Amino acid sequence: MRLMVRFLPLLLTLLFAGDVPAADATGRILGDPKAVEACLNCHDLPAVTSVLHSAHMSKSDSRTGVESEGCQSCHGDSALHVARIRDAGIRPPPGRVFKGPRASPVEVLNEACAGCHQGGTALHWQGSAHAAVDVACVSCHTSHPVRDAVLAKATQAPVCFTCHANRRADALKPSHHPVLEGRMTCGDCHNPHGSVGPNLLRAATVNDTCLNCHDEKRGPFLWDHAPVQEDCTICHTPHGSVQATLLKQRPPYLCQDCHDSSLHNSQPFSGANLPGGALPARQLVLRGCLNCHSAVHGSNHPSGVRLSR
Ligand code: HEC
Ligand code: HEC
Ligand code: HEC
Ligand code: HEC
Ligand code: HEC
Ligand code: HEC
Ligand code: HEC
Ligand code: HEC
Ligand code: HEC
Ligand code: HEC
């Protein structure tokens, strides 16, 4: 019942919408909705007016549409919202409300931003993993604060963590890329707007993404190691690991996923072979297989000793 009372005036406003022209002489319109000043008449809190200092409100940049559309370039047709409300009625919302309980549908929000931002890094937005699950541009971006957190190295990851909580857990593991340290961002490997590669990766493949920074692992080597050429994530996890150097498993187990353990006699025959035993096997102690095969990514060793330095 209370709800009905609350929305009755809105219903009436809608019913008599024709009664409220965009600009009329009766004084019902508080200024031209296309003028920024019209909105500032009522919205003078810093949380709103901070937008005046953003790139979007630059009057010298005609692409912002500030001069022609004012705040409506993002908030859409707000003529009814600007109009004076009579008889304690409810003010109809502006054309687009970006956040809060009365937020407009995602398509309506995204079309506002995409209307001006189509090319560039947002080229692959349509059909991308985020677009497909109705993530809005403003799920990551803010427009009013002077600094949009997602654009800065130090503050980007926490924005992603709001939805990808497991990534925060990974980033806190002993071995991790220096994302929380502010030396890298998720965006160094991913393009959140969409990409031609898998998993929103910046490059076409996992390896091309990694080799952007770890070029020394590219080769070609005299002695290649097949899985390294194929996919770094066969052995490494990109986000964080409890093993050293972002490994998925520790050697020798990592290696024995593929290499027959009988070949190198790496099976413990007795407790004596194990670390701490009387005759610990070199395949099992310390760095395991890496004691000898230290150039696991590929080697140019002239003697041909396999994957050694
Ligand atoms: C006459 C005063 C007035 C003017 C002019 C005005 N607003 Fe508002 N606006 C309000 C009030 C009051 C609210 C809070 C509405 C409510 O809580 O019901 C509001 C709320 C909003 C909201 C949040 C809506 C929501 O549901 O969360 C946005 C966005 C907004 N206004 C944008 C604008 C824009 C853009 C303009 C200029 C085109 C503008 N306003 C002009 C009074 C005004
Ligand atoms: C009327 C056109 C227009 C609309 C609508 C628009 N933008 Fe922009 N946007 C611009 C222009 C112009 C710039 C400044 C030049 C540039 O960086 O390309 C800009 C800059 C940006 C930047 C970079 C800001 C910075 O500080 O470097 C981001 C992020 C952005 N817009 C996101 C959005 C989002 C999200 C929306 C929707 C809520 C949106 N834009 C709506 C035109 C628009
Ligand atoms: C999942 C989070 C996310 C979503 C959703 C998102 N962005 Fe971004 N956006 C980013 C990040 C992160 C950057 C910084 C990219 C970088 O550092 O290279 C960025 C940068 C930008 C920039 C700055 C210039 C540029 O291209 O690098 C613009 C403009 C922009 N986004 C617009 C949009 C628009 C429009 C949408 C919706 C169609 C959108 N974004 C959706 C995360 C997002
Ligand atoms: C680039 C697009 C863009 C422009 C231009 C823009 N806004 Fe917004 N507005 C947003 C987004 C996105 C939000 C959601 C909060 C945020 O991202 O900061 C928002 C939120 C708001 C709110 C609700 C605030 C709250 O905390 O609930 C009001 C009111 C508002 N805007 C008014 C205005 C006024 C007035 C102007 C012009 C002076 C304006 N906006 C210009 C995109 C824009
Ligand atoms: C060093 C490069 C790199 C960085 C930095 C990085 N990622 Fe990834 N991410 C990858 C790769 C490679 C994959 C796909 C293969 C995999 O998961 O093993 C992936 C997959 C994902 C996936 C999809 C698969 C899944 O597990 O859900 C999400 C979500 C994701 N990353 C989010 C993030 C977030 C959020 C950040 C920042 C905190 C981030 N990534 C930082 C490389 C990176
Ligand atoms: C509003 C929630 C939200 C935010 C914020 C968000 N994401 Fe996502 N993201 C999703 C959803 C939902 C999916 C699709 C389901 C999944 O894979 O978890 C997704 C998928 C992904 C994927 C996997 C794509 C694939 O093909 O498997 C990556 C990578 C990713 N996001 C990275 C990021 C990064 C980087 C940021 C911060 C810049 C970010 N996300 C911010 C909700 C979000
Ligand atoms: C944007 C550059 C960049 C990209 C792309 C990148 N890395 Fe890194 N990587 C780094 C940095 C920086 C470090 C930390 C080096 C340091 O601390 O000295 C690092 C460290 C590592 C380490 C060692 C971690 C440790 O705990 O010692 C491994 C393994 C690694 N990266 C693998 C990968 C893989 C696999 C990919 C692709 C999925 C990748 N990297 C993509 C920059 C990058
Ligand atoms: C067959 C498993 C395997 C594959 C595949 C693999 N790595 Fe490694 N990687 C290792 C092991 C084992 C270590 C630890 C080496 C050590 O401790 O000496 C390591 C260490 C690293 C390190 C940190 C130490 C260093 O050598 O700089 C980086 C960076 C790295 N790998 C990047 C990559 C990249 C990039 C790829 C893909 C091109 C890749 N790795 C593929 C097993 C692998
Ligand atoms: C995903 C499977 C896989 C994993 C995991 C793996 N390897 Fe390999 N490894 C291969 C393949 C495939 C070859 C090529 C075999 C061939 O050419 O007959 C190879 C070849 C080798 C060779 C011989 C190189 C040469 O030049 O003939 C050595 C030594 C080697 N691996 C050591 C390791 C070590 C040490 C690890 C653990 C850090 C490891 N491998 C992990 C698949 C793997
Ligand atoms: C004590 C040093 C040492 C350790 C430890 C070691 N290897 Fe080797 N490995 C060698 C040498 C030397 C060769 C070259 C033998 C040859 O070319 O005849 C070799 C060859 C190989 C080859 C090529 C086999 C072939 O028949 O061509 C593979 C695969 C291999 N090692 C895997 C491993 C794995 C997996 C481990 C850990 C369980 C391991 N190695 C531990 C010294 C070692």
Local confidence pLDDT in tens for the 309 residues of the chain: 454 445 444 443 443 333 333 444 444 456 789 999 999 989 999 999 999 999 999 989 989 988 899 999 999 999 989 887 776 778 899 999 999 999 999 999 999 999 899 877 778 898 999 999 999 999 999 999 989 999 999 999 999 999 999 999 999 999 999 999 999 999 999 999 999 999 999 999 999 999 999 999 998 999 999 999 999 999 999 999 999 999 999 998 899 899 987 777 777 778 888 888 888 888 888 888 998 899 999 998 887 667 776
Q: Determine the Cα–Cα distance for residues 253 and 216; give it in Å rounded to an integer.
A: 25
Give the up-direction half-sphere exposure of residue 279: CA atoms within 13 A in the CB hemisphere: 4
Closest CA to ligand 2's atom 39: 113
Say if CB 240 and CB 171 are below 8 A apart.
yes
Q: List all residues whose CB is within 6 A of at least one atom of ligand 7.
A: 175, 177-178, 183-184, 188-189, 206, 209-210, 212-214, 232, 236, 238, 245-246
pLDDT at 197: 93
According to the 3-state scheme, what is the secondary structure of 110-122? HHHHHHHCCCHHH
Distance 210 CA to ligand 9 centre (A): 20
- For residue 235, with 0-12 CB atoms within 10 Å meaning exposed, 13-18 middle and 19 or more buried, which class applies? buried
DSSP 216: G
Q: Which of 110, 139, 134, 106 is nearest to 122 (CA)?
A: 110
pTM of the complete model beyond 0.95: no
Q: What is the pLDDT of residue 282?
A: 82
Give the three-state DSSP class for 29.
strand
Q: pLDDT tens for residues 37-71?
A: 999 989 999 999 999 999 999 989 989 988 899 99
Q: Which residue has the tokens 């991790």?
A: 176
CB of 81 closer than 6 angstroms to any ligand 1 atom = yes
Residue spans per domain, the chain: 2-95, 107-200, 215-299
- 237, amino acid identity: T
What does 244-289 look like in DSSP terms, one character per residue?
Answer: GGGBSS-TTHHHHTTS-TTTTT-S-SSGGGSTTSSS--TTTSTTGG
Handedness of CA 170, 172, 175, 176 (dihedral sign): positive
Does residue 9 have a cis bond before it (omega within 30 degrees)? no
pLDDT of residue 29: 53
Closest by CA position to 148, among listed 177, 187, 179: 187
Scanning the structure block, which residue is given the tokens 């964080």? 240
Mutate to test the pocket of ligand 8, among 176, 217, 292 (most ligand atoms within 8 A of CB): 217
- What is the DSSP code string of 92-137? PPPS---SSTTPPPHHHHHHHHHHH--SGGGGG-TT-HHHHTT--H
